[in-house]
A and B are shown apart, each in its own frame.
Chain A
């Protein structure tokens, strides 16, 4: 059986057969996913930046350093298994989130509390 001859000497050296059999990857052969949180400098927040596939947390951390710490400054990285994160199901709970910043809850906003008019009126009445 003949082998691939390449312009890339590394490929020629690898003696790769020209026609090949391939065993497809099975269901979870590329492991679970871990979500990655990254802090770019001390004092900053850890921000979710993406995920990696890994067989355990230690390797997830290793891949996360390579993938998300390679090109920017990094002070800290966290990894957490995707299945351990409990999340919102957006479709089920739209109202809760829709009403939070709305007008009928304006008593929670700093700018809903106005005093200047009252103070001015008071001063005028007192003639100060």
Chain B
């Protein structure tokens, strides 16, 4: 589950580093022809840096993303739903493994990525800093947050970096179960008792703003997008993905007789959705650590890290030579 590579793009000192113009031209022509880049191919420094940042954030989002949903594992309504939720949470952690591998092929060791997650140096999708207050919140996450993630991931699976594409193809296949599972949970509540409907509506109201934030700031606020699109690192603009999400899911929300907490929301004559811009200052504030659950998410991650240390050390072979995975 992941929104977009919108977080913490601070160009390094070498952003103005001059690439060999001939190699750069060959590289760009290759991408233009629709060919993929493999780990050992030549690539510009900036391409590598942006991909590491993006894939790493995606991987972190998968492991942290398992936490809000995991909240309801012990109290899932019924054994079948409990098994399904456990399976979904396990999938998310599996997705993190696939993505860390893809990022490692670009030269950043997994140890460093996990250290950067705990220290706060690298970020994860903002939406997971919000709490899942009720079972209905877990339904909204599995339905709509996974829906948003699929839109982003399907777009990125057509990108230029082969290991990331391969990981995403597999991830998208697995996510389709999550989406259907979440939709069924939401429909069950929506077609249930008055109390259940109310619970679902309240959860939807809570998740709407984080969901609008999910795809990242409006295109007019985003930087560097042009080059990343040319290199097929970024495959769709934030606003385009947001529009696609609204087109696909607002009708499904309305069909259930639920409302979206935005009075301005409507599709205009040109077929574009109009909506109230969510508070982007809140978005920045939460990314920078001041959200309702940031502290808890990192503390839980650190607990697993610290309390698992003795197992790692017992198994460690000091002689082991660490290399990047093949692909």
Contact = CB atoms under 8 A, between A and B. Distances in A.
Nearest to A20: B302
Contacts of A46: none
Interface stretch (A6-14, A100-108, A109-117, A118-126): A6-14
A42 B154 CA distance: 31
A16 B71 contact: no
Question: In the complex, which range does the number of interface residues on chain B fall in?
Answer: 35 or more
A56 to B, nearest CB: 8
A24 to B, nearest CB: 4
B327 interface: yes
A82 interface: yes
Contacts of A10: 70, 73-74
Given A91-B40, A91-B42, A25 B91 contact: no
A16 to B, nearest CB: 5
B316 A29 contact: yes
A24 B115 contact: yes
B229 interface: no
Contacts of A55: 315-317, 320
A31 B325 contact: no
B302 A28 contact: no
Looking at chain A's contact residues, is the secondary structure mostly helix, strand, loop, or mixed?
Answer: loop
B207 to A, nearest CB: 15
Given A7-B133, A35-B326, A22 B111 contact: no
Contact of B299 (A4, A26, A87): A4
A6 B111 contact: no
Question: In the complex, which range does the number of interface residues on chain A fall in?
Answer: 35 or more
A22 B320 contact: no
B20 interface: no
Nearest to B133: A7
A32 B321 contact: yes
A16 B300 contact: yes
Interface in A1-53: 4, 6-11, 14, 16-18, 20, 22-33, 35, 48, 50-53
Contacts of B94: 66-67, 70
A33 B39 CA distance: 16
Interface of A: 4, 6-11, 14, 16-18, 20, 22-33, 35, 48, 50-53, 55-56, 59, 66-67, 70-71, 82-83, 85, 87, 89-91
Interface of B: 38, 40-42, 67, 70-75, 90-91, 94, 97-98, 101, 104, 109-112, 114-115, 118-119, 131-133, 166-167, 173-174, 295-296, 299-300, 302-303, 305-306, 309, 312-313, 315-318, 320-327
